[in-house]
Amino acid sequence: MATEKATELSELVRDKAEQVRSQAAAKAEDVRGQVADKAIDMRDQLAARTQDVRGQLADNTPDQVREAVAKGAAGIRERGVPVALALGALAVALLIVRRLRSR
């Protein structure tokens, strides 16, 4: 009699635990979906705001500055690899100097 009662209670506990686990999994999936939706909304708002700021910046930037930036960007495109290599070498040299000074 006691063994039967213990078995019955054990099954009830197991069933309840499974029910709770499945409810928690469903709730977690729902929360994940809400977070994903919110992240998408925020990304879209940020993209729209970025476009607004770009427009304002373009409208308020003097022509001389635009031309200088365009000229510099064109120069970097032409000499991009050597400039990148030089900057990389400079960064490595700075790291070496820092390490030597810290000793």
Contact 76, 83 (CB under 8 A): yes
**Reported confidence tier of residue 37, pLDDT bands at 50, 70, 90:** very high
> What pLDDT is recorded for position 80?
66
What residue type is assigned to position 103 of the chain?
R
**How many angstroms separate the first and last alpha carbons of the chain?**
77
Angle between helical axes of 80-102 and 63-78 (0-180°, round to 10)? 80
> What pLDDT is recorded for position 34?
93
Element (H, E) at 98: helix 80-102
In degrees rounded to 5, what are phi and psi of residue 61? -85, 125
pLDDT in tens, 2-34: 788 888 888 888 989 999 999 999 999 999 999
pLDDT in tens, 38-96: 999 999 999 999 998 888 887 887 888 888 888 877 877 776 677 778 888 888 988 88
> What pLDDT is recorded for position 6?
84
Q: What is the mean pLDDT of the chain?
A: 86
